[in-house]
């Protein structure tokens, strides 16, 4: 027994010597040096203190934007509104994941290795995590995701999907693909149309604030399942305007490549939040493939104070993002896409929306923080929220309040709504032809 104890002491001594800390408190050393990586298509907003609210006349007399000094922390923000092309990537990913799940489940049920579906089967235990995969499946029947149709099993994304009907390998594959399209009695001219109701995105949220305030409550009580259709409502181009011919925009705006670089519209607040969740998962899933990877902070909608700080572009008392007190330059050129003068929509160069990179950037490198499309924020609208919110990252997030703040004005608005201090709102479940969004991400660490 004494001999064993002596051996253990020697081993412990040798181990402590190899650690190199000489018995001092040095902290846990990271495996690699961490640095903040700017997400593609974003700019760094440095944060700081500024005077928030109407600093000029309140023409509308809303009295909902009293001036006060607030502070926001640094964050990354998309330099443009989310475009049709970017949102389409989200829609296609959800569509493809649903198809791959259907193919994998059918392949698993059939059990025929010679079937065309076999190459779409869930990844094997080695690809899925080896010993851990086997343990979880044996003990829980899933990888912890019992709410998912895949039960946590890994989809095979290496095999390309076949969308050309002339190249479908067999009837099993055709059956799965057919389930994603409208029934033949709902189509015409021989054209099969994707069923937008089938493009549903499922994700889960955790209410950190409620959990912090209700210590001792079961953790699962704060987890909420969100499931919603995420295809944009293209009919907004018709519904938003009575006695107006906007059918070309209804038919082509989201789907045609001519509008790839234009801001996506017809997306309600909940769909914008879902996009943020998907973008976070999409990025961190890719990072997890790297050795010693570090996850990135979540993408989200900006809070109202962040949006106003970013829109000002460093101009403390500017009325518009360009600092100028007028919506046009000293040469008479309009500086944003809105409804100038007495309703001459085309006078500024755009009849409806314009490309997301139109006009000049503001002082922080952001396009169209005024005009083009209004933008969703994460803040609930309350006329008195400026008086009740904190002065550090002020935000009123009331889940019972379905009125959400939109900022920036749009292509159909007069200049008043383009002012950086103007507040407006729309209901969270409502999509419009003049409301889009952009995302932000927390800056982790200290600015150098």
pLDDT digits (tens, 9 = 90+) for 280-336: 999 998 888 777 777 889 999 999 999 999 999 999 889 999 988 899 988 888 999
Query: Per mean pLDDT, which of 67-81, 126-140, 154-168, 199-213 is the most reliable?
Result: 67-81
Task: Please tell me the distance from the alpha carbon of residue 304 to that of residue 379, in angstroms, as a whole number.
Answer: 6
**Which range among 128-132, 152-156, 187-191 shows the weakest confidence by mean pLDDT?**
128-132
Mean pLDDT score, 254-259: 96
Q: Which residues pair with 404 in a beta bridge?
A: 380, 426
Task: Please tell me the distance from the alpha carbon of residue 70 to that of residue 394, in angstroms, as a whole number.
Answer: 7
| Residue whose tokens read 């929306």 | 353
Query: Cβ atoms within 10 A of the Cβ of 324, count?
Result: 14
**Which range among 81-85, 90-94, 192-196, 263-267 shows the weakest confidence by mean pLDDT?**
192-196
Task: Please tell me the distance from the alpha carbon of residue 358 to that of residue 205, in angstroms, as a whole number.
Answer: 35
Take residue 327 and report the two structure tokens written for it.
Answer: 């919506």
Confidence of residue 439 (pLDDT cuts 50, 70, 90): very high
Looking at per-residue pLDDT, the higher value among 109 and 31 belongs to 109
Does the pLDDT at position 48 exceed 80? yes
pLDDT, position 324: 86
Does the pLDDT at position 381 exceed 50? yes
Confidence of residue 11 (pLDDT cuts 50, 70, 90): very low
Confidence of residue 19 (pLDDT cuts 50, 70, 90): low
pLDDT per residue as tens digits for the range 322-372: 988 899 988 888 999 999 988 888 888 889 999 999 999 999 999 999 999
CA distances from 4 to 1, 11, 13, 343 (A): 5, 11, 14, 91
pLDDT, position 442: 96
Q: Please give the model's pTM, rounded to 2 decimal places.
A: 0.90
Confidence of residue 15 (pLDDT cuts 50, 70, 90): very low
Q: pLDDT > 70: what percent of the chain? A: 89
CB-facing half-sphere around the CA of 88: CA atoms within 13 A? 14
């Amino acid at each position: 027994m004494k001999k064993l104890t002596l051996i253990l002491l020697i081993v412990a001594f040798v181990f402590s010597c190899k650690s190199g800390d000489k018995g001092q408190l040095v902290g846990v050393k990271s495996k690699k040096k961490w640095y903040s990586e700017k997400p593609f298509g974003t700019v760094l907003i440095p944060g700081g203190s500024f005077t928030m609210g109407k600093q000029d006349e309140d023409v509308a007399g809303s009295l909902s934007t009293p001036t006060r000094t607030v502070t926001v922390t640094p964050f990354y923000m998309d330099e443009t509104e989310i475009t049709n092309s970017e949102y389409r990537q989200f829609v296609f990913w959800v569509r493809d994941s649903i198809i791959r799940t259907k193919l994998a489940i059918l392949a698993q049920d059939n059990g025929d290795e010679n079937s065309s579906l076999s190459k779409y089967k869930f990844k094997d235990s080695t690809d899925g995590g080896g010993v851990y995969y086997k343990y979880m499946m044996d003990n829980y029947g899933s990888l912890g995701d019992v709410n998912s149709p895949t039960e946590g099993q890994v989809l095979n994304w290496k095999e390309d999907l076949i969308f050309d009907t002339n190249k479908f390998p067999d009837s099993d594959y055709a059956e799965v693909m057919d389930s994603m399209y409208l029934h033949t009695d709902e189509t015409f001219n021989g054209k099969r149309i994707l069923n937008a109701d089938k493009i549903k995105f499922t994700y889960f949220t955790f209410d950190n604030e409620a959990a912090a305030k209700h210590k001792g409550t079961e953790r699962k009580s704060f987890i909420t399942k969100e499931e919603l259709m995420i295809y944009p409502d293209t009919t907004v181009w018709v519904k938003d305007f009575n006695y107006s011919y906007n059918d070309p925009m209804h038919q082509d705006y989201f789907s045609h490549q001519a509008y790839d670089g234009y801001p996506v519209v017809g997306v309600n607040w909940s769909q914008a939040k879902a996009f943020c969740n998907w973008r976070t998962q999409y990025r961190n899933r890719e990072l997890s493939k790297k050795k010693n990877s570090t996850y990135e902070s979540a993408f989200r909608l900006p809070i109202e104070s962040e949006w106003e700080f970013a829109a000002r572009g460093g101009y403390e008392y500017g009325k518009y993002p360009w600092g100028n007190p007028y919506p046009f330059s000293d040469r008479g050129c309009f500086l944003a896409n809105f409804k100038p003068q007495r309703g001459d929509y085309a006078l500024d160069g755009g009849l409806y929306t314009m490309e997301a990179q139109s006009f000049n950037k503001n002082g922080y490198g952001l396009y169209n923080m005024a005009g083009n499309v209004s933008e969703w924020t994460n803040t609930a609208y309350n006329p008195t929220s400026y008086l009740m919110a904190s002065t550090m990252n002020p935000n009123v997030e009331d889940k019972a309040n379905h009125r959400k703040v939109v900022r920036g004005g749009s292509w159909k608005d007069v200049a008043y709504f383009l002012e950086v201090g103007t507040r407006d709102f729309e209901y969270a479940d409502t999509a419009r032809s003049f409301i889009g969004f952009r995302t932000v991400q927390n800056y982790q660490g200290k600015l150098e």
